[in-house]
Amino acid sequence: MAKISEVIYNSNAVENSSLTLEDTEKILLKNSIPKGANLREVYEAKILQTLQKFYLKNQIKHYHETIF
């Protein structure tokens, strides 16, 4: 399974984001904005990270409700 940073990088790359995988990992894992990064693209990456976490949390909750 791909890491969340890879999924977000690939999603943004499809939309012609200038962020590299390394840039995306810095933004998501270190809360660091690479020099010269487009702030719109930085915010898009952070928003997708938030959405991924929300989705996974709700999937886990739904799974537990189904099982128990």
Mean pLDDT for the chain? 90
pLDDT > 90? residue 59? no
Q: What percent of the chain has pLDDT over 90?
A: 71
**Would you state the pLDDT for residue 57?**
84
Does 1 score more than 60 pLDDT?
Answer: no
- Average pLDDT value for residue range 43-62: 88
- DSSP labels, 19-67: --HHHHHHHHHH--PPTT--HHHHHHHHHHHHHHHHHHHHHHHHHHHHH
